[in-house]
Amino acid sequence: MRKAVIFDMDGVLIDSEPAYLEMNFKLFDELGIEMPEEEYKDFVGMDSLKMWTMIKNKYGLSESAEELRLKEKNLMKNLLEAGADSMTVRGIPELIREFRKKNYALSLASSSSRENIDTVISKINLREHFDFVISGDEVKSGKPEPDIFLRVASEFNLTPDKCFVIEDSFNGVTAAKKAGMYCIGFSTDNSNSQDLSGADLIVNSFTEKDSTELLKFIEDN
Query: What mean pLDDT is reported for the chain?
Result: 94
Task: Give me the percent of the chain exceeding a pLDDT of 90.
Answer: 85
Number of domains in the chain: 1
pLDDT over threshold 90, residue 193: no
More reliable by pLDDT, 183 or 136 = 183
Domain that holds residue 149: 1-221
Decide if 79 contacts 26 (C-beta within 8 A).
no
Kindly indicate the confidence band of residue 133, based on its pLDDT and cuts at 50, 70 and 90.
very high
pLDDT of amino acid 186? 96
Decide if 115 contacts 75 (C-beta within 8 A).
no
pLDDT in tens, 37-92: 889 989 998 999 999 999 999 999 999 999 999 999 999 999 888 887 788 999 99
The CA dihedral of 36, 38, 43, 44, to the nearest 10 degrees, is 120
CA distances from 192 to 26, 70, 129, 218 (A): 17, 24, 28, 26
What is the DSSP-derived secondary structure letter of residue 128? G
What is the DSSP-derived secondary structure letter of residue 22? H
pLDDT over threshold 80, residue 22: yes
Question: What's the CATH number where 119 sits?
Answer: 3.40.50.1000
Q: How many helices (H) and strands (E) does the chain have?
A: 9, 6
Q: Which of 45-54, 76-85, 166-175, 211-220 shows the lowest mean pLDDT across its residues?
A: 76-85
